[in-house]
C-alpha cells in the first residue's frame, strides 16, 4: 500500500467473526475478500508501511481450530518471516488463547511481533469492534524503536489492551472486552497514544527462528468437581495412548481426598503418565501443600503448574511431548518458564 514502506506487515486471515460482511441481496454474513481490505477499511491507506494479506482456504470457524492448523500457521509465518516486519493473525475469539499459546511455543527465538486479534461483531456491521482491533494490531506489529520491534512476541490484542498471548483467557462472550490476562500485566494500553509497558515485554534474542509444527495431542483435561466418581476418573486415565493430563483443581491446587481417588492418580503416574496441576480459578497460582487437601499431590509426583492458564498448559504439554522423547525432559521443562507463560517462584 506504500511504494516505499518503512515497514511491512502480513495479515493472515484464518476465519472468524471479524472477516464477515453482510451480503446485500440475502442479508447473510459471508467472509469477505481480504485482498480488497482497503475498500472495507479505507483508514489502512493512511499507514506509511506496507500491508499484504493472505487468507486460509477454506477459512475456518475458530471452534474447528486444531493443532494441524496451528502447524500450518506456524509454517506460513516461517515461510514469510524474512519478508515482513510483523504479522497480524485474524482469528475467531473462542480458541484464540489456545492458538496464541501454541504459537508462542512453536515459534522459538521469535524476534518479530505476531499479533492475534478478531472481533465480537463482524467488520461489516456498523458497531463493529473489528476495525479498531485490526488497525491498532497493525500499528503494533509495525512498531519499531532503534530498528528493533517493540513487541517481539506472540500477543493478543483486543479492546484497547495488548496481552501476552500465552497469558490470556477468553472470559466474556458478549462484551467487546473479551479477554483477560489475570496473572500477568498488560503489555500495552491503546488510548490517544499506545502506551507500552516495556518492563513486561520479552526482549529479542536475535537468534535464528526455529519452528516446530508438530504437537502431541495424547493428553486430556481432567476437571475436578464435587461428586466426580472414581470410576469415571479411572476410565479417563486408562485412555489408550494417553501421555499427559492437565488436572484442573480447586483454589490453590486442592482436590478432594475421597478414598481411592489419589491412589488412581498415583498408579497412573507410576505407569508413566505425566500430570500437571492447574487451578480452576481465573487468577492465582497452584501451591501444592499449602492445604492438607493438596499435601499428597506433590508426594505422588503431580507437577505444579503455578499460575499457568489451562490454555497455555494444554499447548505447552502438547509441544513438549512432541519435541522431547524422554519423559524426564518433558517433566523438567513443564516446570520451567519457556516463553513467559508461567511465573516460577
Sheet holding 274-279, edge to edge: 219-223, 244-249, 274-279, 303-304
CA 323 to chain centre: 18
How many residues are present in the chain? 345
Active-site residues, by number, are 17
Distances (CA, A) of 117 to 99, 136, 232, 280: 11, 10, 38, 25
- State the CB neighbour count (10 A cutoff) for residue 172: 13
In the chain, count of helices (H) and strands (E)? 9, 20
Residue 186: all three cell numbers together: 498488560
* H or E element, residue 163: strand 161-164
What are the phi and psi torsion angles at 99 (to 5°)? Answer: -65, -40
What DSSP letter does each residue of 170-211 carry, written as one string?
E--SSSS--EE-TTS--SEEESSSEEE-GGGSPPP--PPPEE
Burial of 187 (0-12, 13-18, 19+ CB in 10 A): buried
- Give the Cα separation of 46 and 30 in Å (integer): 27
- State the CB neighbour count (10 A cutoff) for residue 119: 26
Residue 313 DSSP code: H
* Residues linked to residue 89 through DSSP beta bridges, in sequence order: 12, 116
Residue 49 DSSP code: S
Residue reference for cell 515459534: 107
Amino acid at each position: 500500500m506504500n511504494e516505499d514502506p518503512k515497514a511491512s506487515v502480513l495479515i493472515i486471515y484464518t476465519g472468524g467473526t471479524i472477516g464477515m460482511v453482510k451480503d446485500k441481496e440475502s442479508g447473510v454474513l459471508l467472509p469477505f475478500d481480504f485482498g480488497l481490505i482497503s475498500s472495507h477499511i479505507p483508514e489502512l491507506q493512511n499507514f506509511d508501511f506496507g500491508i499484504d494479506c493472505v487468507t486460509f482456504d477454506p477459512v475456518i470457524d475458530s471452534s474447528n481450530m486444531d493443532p494441524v492448523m496451528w502447524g500450518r500457521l506456524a509454517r506460513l509465518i516461517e515461510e514469510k518471516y524474512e519478508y515482513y516486519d510483523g504479522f497480524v493473525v485474524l482469528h475467531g475469539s473462542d480458541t484464540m488463547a489456545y492458538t496464541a499459546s501454541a504459537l508462542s511455543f512453536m515459534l522459538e527465538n521469535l524476534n518479530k511481533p505476531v499479533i492475534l486479534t478478531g472481533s465480537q461483531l463482524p467488520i461489516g456491521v456498523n458497531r463493529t469492534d473489528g476495525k479498531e482491533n485490526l488497525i491498532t494490531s497493525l500499528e503494533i506489529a509495525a512498531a519499531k524503536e532503534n530498528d528493533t520491534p517493540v513487541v517481539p512476541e506472540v500477543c493478543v490484542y483486543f479492546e484497547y489492551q495488548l496481552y501476552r498471548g500465552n497469558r490470556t483467557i477468553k472470559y466474556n462472550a458478549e462484551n467487546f472486552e473479551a479477554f483477560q490476562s489475570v496473572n500477568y500485566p498488560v503489555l500495552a494500553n491503546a488510548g490517544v497514544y499506545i502506551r507500552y509497558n516495556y518492563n513486561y515485554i520479552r526482549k529479542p534474542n536475535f537468534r535464528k527462528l526455529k519452528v516446530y509444527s508438530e504437537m502431541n495431542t495424547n493428553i486430556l483435561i481432567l476437571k475436578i468437581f464435587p461428586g466426580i466418581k472414581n470410576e469415571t476418573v479411572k476410565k479417563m486415565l486408562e485412555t489408550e495412548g494417553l501421555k499427559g493430563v492437565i488436572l484442573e483443581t480447586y483454589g490453590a491446587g486442592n482436590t478432594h481426598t475421597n478414598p481411592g481417588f489419589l491412589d488412581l492418580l498415583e498408579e497412573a503416574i507410576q505407569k508413566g503418565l505425566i500430570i500437571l496441576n492447574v487451578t480452576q480459578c481465573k487468577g492465582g497460582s497452584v501451591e501444592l501443600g499449602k492445604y492438607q487437601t493438596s499435601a499428597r499431590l506433590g508426594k505422588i509426583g503431580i507437577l505444579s503448574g503455578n499460575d499457568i492458564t489451562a490454555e497455555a498448559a494444554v499447548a505447552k504439554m502438547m509441544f513438549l511431548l512432541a519435541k522431547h522423547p524422554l519423559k524426564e525432559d518433558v517433566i523438567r521443562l513443564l516446570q520451567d518458564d519457556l516463553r513467559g507463560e508461567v511465573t516460577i517462584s
